[in-house]
Structure 1
Amino acid sequence: MTKLDPARSRTPRRWAIDLRPLRVPAYRRLWTGNSVAMFGFQFTAVAVPVEMFALTRDSFWVGLIGVAAFGPLLVFGLWGGVIADARDRRSVLLAGSLLLWASTLGLLVQALLGARSPVLLLALVAVQSVAFAVTSPARSAMLPRLVPLDLVPSASTLNFTTNTAATVAGPMVAGLIFGIWGTDTGLPIAYAADAVLLTALIWAARGLPALPPEPDPDGAPRRRGLASVVDGFRYLATTPVLLLSFGIDLIAMILAMPRALFPEIAEERFGGGAAVGWLFSAIAVGSLLGGLTSGWIGRLRRQGLALVVAVVGWGLAIAAAGLAGHLWLAVLLLAVAGAADLVSAVLRQSMLLVYAPDRMRGRLQGVNTVVVAGGPRLGDLRAGTMAAGLGSGVAWVGGGLAAAVLAVLLAVSFPALIRYRRPAVPPGDRP
């Protein structure tokens, strides 16, 4: 029998997604609950616009769903970060999860009763957004206290990968529900499925260890409310590495997010039909495949440079996809962009969690929630406005190229980001 080369036998493990964080019971519980809940949430993400259009027959009302979600997210994302730094993060996650569950039950009840109220639907979406904004900073900020610091990049990758898998599989299952049972029966089924699966997150939060705030090093009392938000922004303003990581993500999302152009491009260039579905799913599929082959990300030392390269790769892949004359090529290039986005997201999250002190992680995660949620929406506005004046092709390709160029200029002008290296943390060390 031929002996295997040890280096060659380790290659698959070096590229495959790193599963070591799942050996930590607390993280495994949180990951399981969050993954199941995220899959269920996709049913509601599809059902709400379907119900709104069925009620109003007007896409304007469907568009208002995004406004109803973003407003609370902007306000309560920052406030949720303050709470995550001032309270037991386990308790914050549990309370927010219960509120999220209650709002989902509200959607189920209104569908069963046939309330047929667009305003009520928007109000329930707003409550859901409040709950998400409160829980998200706490859920992210607790990560470095659940796993060793050297496993934070791997844990972040696992979170992003399973969330992306949920965004790919969940809408497909939701579409199957509506295809089999129709709108009237499918809506209660979709909301009920989300409510049932969401209990997994409540189960996970209940079983986590207590995570009270760590005392400030100088022993000073921790400020709350608006003063605490200001403290968070003040810390961010004096921390170039983190500030630049937020800035480069906004460049990528605002200038190079092309999804608002997908319906027009699908119709004009690819003949409509299923083309729009392929375009909308391509980035998520690329992120999923990137996550499954992400074992190398956790070993990167020069994380700042890698982040810049990932954003430049995202912009160039988006621009190339805008030039593609064949659907399969556009989908392939969008998938490449999605894989680059996965790398960028993991590196930014890892840098934020490791670099920032625990007392600031909740507030900075609140800012991160606003940036991550707001950037793509501003990107939709940029793409639609630019397409109206210059055409969809220029809006798509020009946005991608502009993002790549500005990312390079930002990195060269402010080199603190590309100089950043992951701290050498001995395996098993905790903050």
Structure 2
Amino acid sequence: MTVTSDKPTSWIRKHAIDIRPLRHAAYRRVFIGNAVSFFGVQFTAVAVPVQIYDLTRSAFWVGVSSFVGLIPLILFSLWGGAIADAFDRRKVLLLSSTLMWVTTLGLFAQALLHLENAWLMLVLVAAQSAGFGINSPVRQAIIPALIDKNEVAAAQTLGFTVSNIAAIGGPVGAGVVIAAFDVSAAYAIDAVLFTVVLWAALRLPSVPPGGTKATGGLRDVRDGLRFLAGSKIILLTFAIDIAAMVLAMPKALFPVVADERFGAASLGWLYASIAIGAALAGLTSGWIGRVHRQGIALVLAVVGWGLAVAAAGAVPWLWACVALMAVAGAADMVSGVYRQTVLLSAPDEMRGRLQGVFFAVVAGGPRLGDLRAGSVADVTDATFSWVSGGIAAAVVAVVLAMTFPVLLRYTDRSH
């Protein structure tokens, strides 16, 4: 008699990513739309800094192209969160997605016509950021209505993972396309793939916000900020993420480093490097939910991010730089899941507004980081800007944890 061990199956179930939310047809369509559009968005994310650098030959201008979208991103993220708590979330998702699609078409047109106007590009980037600011909190707030309550955390992890998988293939594909053709081809691919998001939004049922008297006005934004001000642990998770992204995000340096150190073919790998680690961490994320002392885990993940970024900036080999940035990406994936877990403890009627603030932090921090990295590189060099930023992020994370021990004491309340 042969006895078959179920240990491999048991190990996979214990450590592999949870895909239960995909059982729901509406969520599955949104998931597919997001996955395809995330891939396409990476083409524009690479094309814009490459085109700006080609026009200006300045790392500072690359940083400015990222920073210019920060103000509309923050304002419309906060407002978009309030709108998500007040109106039919399907309609808001569809309108904001359409705005993003139109601005991508604008970027395609200016590249195709060879207008070579950096200021026009900045206007289009700012408009796209406004649409993105509304779209992201609505996209997150809509998810609990499409799945079972006990699957929300799994859906968040799926979203993180698929976005990072797309961020691997997207930049590599963008590098190939831009080298073979030009940036207009990259913008065109993004515009075509983004139509899948519009299809997914059109197929959604009506998703009115429940249990709220919000109107989408400034008072609702103020109420959300007032709630946030009274939650020290949420504020600390925002603060530690801002420190990590502002001080240690080196993406603005990628075109410079590719041009001066590794060669043009390295550009796609540099842009994909963070996502490689994040995707691998997501695919093996079954253990993440079993960590009890999540505050300590969050701090360690941010420290790991900073140190890995610093090491990546110091090595002279492309493969080592990509590998170390992948380690940083894995650490960032872990910290992102724990920060979202903290947010899930908020009341349902505040979900959209808090997701708006969360997105403003998550998307705004890297843009400030691009400006910091580009500015420092212009007055020193790319290596100093890259390495010093990573070290500073690790130090600040430790200082925040020691100054506010409530962060270290945070535990998963579901245990």
TM-score (normalizing by structure 1): 0.84
Greater mean alpha carbon deviation, residues 274-283 or residues 65-74: 274-283
2:298 matched to which residue of 1? 307
Q: 2:338 aligns with which of 321, 326, 347?
A: 347
Q: Return closer, same or farther for 1:53/1:247 CA change in 2, 3 Å cut-off.
A: closer
- The 8 Å contact of residues 153 and 297 in structure 1, kept in 2 or not, is answered as no
Alpha-carbon spacing, 1:210–1:4, altered in 2? closer, same or farther (3 Å): same
Partner of 2:222: 230
Shift of 1:241: 1.7
Question: How far has the Cα of 1:272 moved from its partner?
Answer: 5.0
Conserved 8 A contact 2:67-2:367: no
- Return closer, same or farther for 1:272/1:134 CA change in 2, 3 Å cut-off: same
How do 1:59-74 residues align onto structure 2 when only pairs under 5 Å count? 59=58, 64-74=64-74
Corresponding residue of 1:205: 201
What residue ranges of structure 1 are gaps of 5+ in the alignment? 426-431
The one of 364, 369, 394 aligned to 1:404: 394
Q: Which residue of 2 aligns with 1:373?
A: 363
Map 1:14-413 onto structure 2 (within 5 A). 14-49=14-49, 56=55, 59=58, 64-110=64-110, 117-180=117-180, 182-183=181-182, 187=184, 189-216=185-212, 221-222=213-214, 224-262=216-254, 274=265, 278-324=269-315, 326-352=317-343, 354-385=344-375, 395-413=385-403
Rounded to whole Å, the distance in 2 between the matches of 1:351 and 1:249 is: 13
Deviations 1:328-353 (A, max 9, x none): 3333222111111111112212321x
Structure 1 position 48, deviation (Å)? 4.0
Contact 1:236/1:243, CA 8 A, preserved across alignment: yes
Given that 1:153 and 1:347 are in contact with CA atoms closer than 8 Å, whether structure 2 keeps it comes out as no
Instruction: Give the letter for the 1:28 counterpart.
Output: R
Once the 2 structures are TM-superposed, how far is the Cα of residue 230 of structure 1 from its aligned partner?
Answer: 1.9
- What is the deviation of 1:376? 1.7
Task: Indicate the SS of the match to 1:86.
Answer: coil
Change (3 A) 1:390 1:40: closer
Q: Which has the larger radius of gyration?
A: 1
Shift of 1:92: 0.8
Q: Once the two structures are superposed, what CA deviation does each residue of 1:44-98 show, in whole Å capped at 9, x if it has no partner?
A: 33444555566x4654765553244223212212111111111121211011112
Distance 1:281 1:368 in 2: 23
Alpha-carbon distance, 1:214 to partner: 2.1
Of the structure 1 ranges 131-140 and 202-211, higher mean CA displacement relative to structure 2 is found in 202-211
Q: Is the 8 A contact 1:319 1:400 kept in 2?
A: yes
Report the residue type matching 1:245 in the other structure: T
User: 1:99-131: CA deviations, max 9, x gaps?
Assistant: 222333344455556656544443333222211
Change over 3 Å in CA distance of 1:3–1:330 after alignment to 2: farther
Post-superposition shift, 1:398?
A: 4.1
Give per-residue Cα distances to partners, 1:175-230, cap 9 Å, x unaligned: 333444x33xx62x4444323321211121122232222224xxxx4364322222
Letter in 2 for 1:39: F
Question: Equivalent residue for 1:13?
Answer: 13
CA contact (8 A) 2:312 2:324 kept: yes
Q: 1:128 to 1:398 in 2, by over 3 A?
A: closer
Give the Cα–Cα distance (whole angstroms) in 2 for the partners of residues 168 and 290 of structure 1: 13
Q: Distance in 1 between matches of 2:374 and 2:57?
A: 19
Alignment root-mean-square deviation, CA: 3.1
Q: Does the CA contact (< 8 Å) of 2:63 and 2:252 recur in 1?
A: no
CA distance, structure 2, for counterparts of residue 57 and residue 393 of structure 1: 20
Q: Indicate if the aligned counterparts of 1:317 and 1:333 stay in contact, CA closer than 8 A.
A: yes
> 2:286 aligns to what SS in structure 1?
coil
Unmatched tracts of structure 2, length 5 or more? none
- Whether the aligned pair in 1 keeps the contact of 2:137 and 2:359 (CA below 8 Å) is yes
| Number of residue equivalences | 414
Identity of aligned residues (%): 54
